[in-house]
Amino acid sequence: MVVKIIKRPFVNPKMMGEMIRQQIRATLYRVKESTKVELAQSTGISFPTISKTLDEMNDSGEVLLTGLGLSSGGRRPRTYKLNPDYMTGLAVCLEKDFSSYLILNYEGDIIGRETLPGVLQAGPELLTEQIGIFLARFPSMRVLTLGVPGAVNNGRVSHMPDYERFKDFNFRTFYEERFSLRVQVENDMNTTVIGYYDSIGSDDSLSLVYLYLGKNGPGAGIIVNGHVVRGGTFFSGEVSYVPLSDTQNFMQMIDAASAIQDSNQSRSKLMEAISRLVAVFTATINPHIIIFCSTELTNLDLVQIRNRGASLVPEENLPKLVVSDWKQDYFHGLHQLTVGSMLAAD
């Protein structure tokens, strides 16, 4: 229901304890180190509750007493932080030619990274083997986050045409049953746009489009009102198919552009295609920002796109156009998803 008639998202006293722990975890993650008073202020929870809960978390080893903070004229307060060794998380980026592994501690720090051979063509067995290695090395591993180049639905592959061995593979149930891990799987472009969204750290719910013009054909990750758009058939962001001219869709247009000999003309045709796609997004979901890969476009290109775009839609409605580092945003997304999964614990 759009209409704000609540259905059942209710909070009873029993859940409050866990919610309070979540608030504490999230705050400690943000600020790294804090006193009980500071936690009470920044969470809005009463001091005694914070004190009691934090003591419990200290007893269970989830947080550590780090010492005493600065005095502001009276007794010096004890400071606490998340215990980095409380839990470990594994973030995995699966690509055709390699698998990138990131090992994160409970504070969100990267305590290990490794690149192993690609598993997408080989099949799940090799992936299981690779994960097994890390699991053996880090017994406190509790969460697993996978970024994959394909459509996933609730942990299960729903469309990944190039990799037959993973057809319909359910990452979540497979690894949650086999190892006792909390498993998350996300599409690569969605992960990237999540990473970018998190990195700009805006708390109001924005709409963004992260555009990628890769070798495997272009694609986009979309966030609307702060939520990832997965689409009715997990086909969202497949912008290759957007019809933009009498005879060509977006992919055909950029393919045609790159086929042109004259490099100026080729570039100009590419710019035209992108400008049109920008106009399409502006006149439909009207995002705040569209992000391009810095390896593909320069800031100068953006000016050109903006100018051309302004001839298609009223300029004041054009989104902010920015370039960003795809790989970095992707990994940041994986990182944040993994941390989020660890901190949502219990």
Single residue of 3, 5, 71, 262 touching DNA by CB under 7 A:
71
The length of the chain, given as a count of residues = 346
Q: Work out what residue 240 binds among DNA, a second copy, none; the CB cut-off runs from 5 to 8 Å by kind.
A: a second copy
Q: Which is nearer to a second copy, 111 or 229 (CB)?
A: 229
Q: Which H, E and C letters describe 94-115, residue by residue?
A: ECCCEEEEEEEECCCCEEEEEE
For residues 253-272, which are near a second copy according to CB under 8 A? none
CB of 199 to DNA, least distance (A): 32
249 binds a second copy (CB under 8 A): yes
CA distance 93 to 115: 9
Q: Which is nearer to a second copy, 135 or 250 (CB)?
A: 250
CA distance 200 to 340: 17
String of contacts with a second copy for each residue 216-235, x by CB under 8 A: ----x-xxxxxxxxxxxxxx
Residue 93 neighbours by CB under 8 Å, 6+ apart: 99, 100, 102, 147, 188, 330, 331, 334
* Residue 165 C-beta-side C-alpha neighbours within 13 Å: 11
Whether the Cβ atoms of residue 91 and residue 102 lie closer than 8 Å to each other: yes
CA distance 129 to 54: 38
Name the segment binding a second copy (CB under 8 A); options: 65-73, 110-118, 295-303, 306-314: 306-314
Q: Work out what residue 337 binds among a second copy, DNA, none; the CB cut-off runs from 5 to 8 Å by kind.
A: a second copy
Q: Work out what residue 203 binds among a second copy, DNA, none; the CB cut-off runs from 5 to 8 Å by kind.
A: a second copy
Residue 191 three-state SS:
helix
CB of 46 to DNA, least distance (A): 3
Binding residues vs DNA (CB under 7 A): 12-14, 16-17, 20, 35-37, 45-49, 51-53, 55, 68, 71-78
